[in-house]
Amino acid sequence: MPPWWRHAARKVVSEDNKMNTGAIRERLAHRRDEIMSIINKVDKHVTHREQALDRDSGERALELENLDALFAIDRETRIELRQINDAIERIDVGHYGFCSECGAAIGAERLAALPYIDTCIVCAQRAETKSS
């Protein structure tokens, strides 16, 4: 479970076992803001370099490794951002909590752990088996 979600996970499902999509949407929007901040910081470091790479081959290798790490962070945060935006859209149109593959309800525990997930556990396992 993502650390930003742990505190809110208990609030995701109400006493009558129905999802509180308002609370879920609020948490997703908060995480989206955090991710946008990360993306902006990474973008600033990557695209606004004022110095050329160091001439020393050891320093240059270290700088290139740092850039690779920044690009990986950027790629992963953009994937998460897309998933969060998709989840918010599903909430807005009333499709949140249903598998995008088979249409079955996604388990509350799965949504609490992965609030932006769009597949039930059966379809996720099926996709994982196909990709292996």
Q: What is the pTM for the complete model shown? A: 0.73
pLDDT for residue 47: 72
DSSP letter at 105 equals: B
CA distance 44 to 38: 10
* Whether 101 contacts 119, CB under 8 Å: yes
Q: Average pLDDT for residues 22-30, to the nearest whole number?
A: 94
Does residue 73 surpass a pLDDT of 60? Answer: yes
